[in-house]
Amino acid sequence: MFDFLEFGFNQRAILAAGLIGFSNGALGALVVLRKNALVVSALAHALLPGIALGILIFGGLNPFVGFVGALFGALVVGLGTVYVARVALLDHQTSLSVLYTTAFAGGLLMLERIPTFTNLEGWLFGNILGLRNADLWISYGVSLLILVSLTAWRRGWILYLFEPSVAASMGVPVRRMNYWLTLLMVLGLVTSLQAVGSVLSAALFITPTAIMLQNVRSPRALIWGSGLTGGLAGAVSIWLSNVLDVRPGAMMILLLGILFPVALGLKRLVEARRALPAVR
């Protein structure tokens, strides 16, 4: 049943899936509470233009080029959106729509200059079984940065999410936290590229929190519950993908998607039982 763990690539995959699922799930609680679900989805689309630019500059695609290119593309769109929204008197969603669609259009044009598209499949749809030790260390580093940020600034994040004006009056650096949250989202998206690909990476942020929101209201419980949900789903999906012989990244997102209606059904069941009159 667990013979697949004899292979090193499966061991790396299950560690990476657990780490990425936990850190992105925990960070996703802030994203959802901040009502930035569409933002992280748009940033995921900005990964592809960055990869295409990296291929054109370096003349080929390898893990280094893909990572640096995706990081550059998402950072330009993400941090540029925060800056443009502040100086151009536009709301955040409008600024993001302008920048990410422009970047995506540029990426499509750049792809026409690339001789072959076959090497892009792993970056579009994920190839977590192909992770190297270096990729695993990058996942460790980014996950640690996300979790330390969530823990060290816990009180500041709560104020920033629910009462930004009060937070600013109390000395919380709201503007810098805007940039920092965007940076953490970008790093989380980039590290999840080889796990689930750019097409599905946003779901690792959104779906675990959507599941937890059905039965949890405390911000602290929501953050760590979302992390545990994402981490467990990631680890279990590697096992299921070996049993069913399917793509691990897609299995991870499908498993989370199945858990969402289950959580919703449990919520309705609990509400229905509470509504029943007490039996004497």
Side-chain-facing half-sphere of 106: CA atoms under 13 Å:
17
* pLDDT tens profile 123-146: 788 888 888 888 888 888 999 999
Q: Which residues contact 65 (CB under 8 A, 6 or more apart)?
A: 51, 54, 55, 58
Number of domains in the chain: 1
Domain assignment of residue 226, yes or no: yes
Domain assignment of residue 148, yes or no: yes
Query: Quick one: pLDDT at residue 27?
Result: 94
Place of tokens 């940033």: 43
Q: Show the domain range for 236.
A: 3-264
Domain assignment of residue 279, yes or no: no
Return the higher-pLDDT residue of 59 and 152: 152
Mean pLDDT of 22-42: 90
Q: Is the pLDDT of residue 166 over 90?
A: no
| pLDDT-based confidence at residue 167 (cuts at 50, 70, 90) | confident
Query: Quick one: pLDDT at residue 52?
Result: 87
Domain assignment of residue 247, yes or no: yes
* pLDDT tens profile 61-119: 777 888 889 999 999 998 888 888 888 778 888 888 889 899 989 988 888 887 655 46
Q: Is the pLDDT of residue 163 over 80?
A: no
Question: The domain spanning residue 212 has which CATH number?
Answer: 1.10.3470.10
Model pTM score: 0.86
How far is Cα 83 from Cα 165, in angstroms, rounded to an integer? 19
Query: Quick one: pLDDT at residue 119?
Result: 66
Q: Which of 124-138, 175-189, 240-254 has the lowest mean pLDDT?
A: 124-138
Query: Quick one: pLDDT at residue 257?
Result: 94
Domain assignment of residue 278, yes or no: no
Domain assignment of residue 215, yes or no: yes
Q: Which residues contact 61 (CB under 8 A, 6 or more apart)?
A: 51, 54, 55, 119, 120, 123
A 10 A CB-CB count for 2 gives 8
Domain assignment of residue 277, yes or no: no
Domain assignment of residue 271, yes or no: no
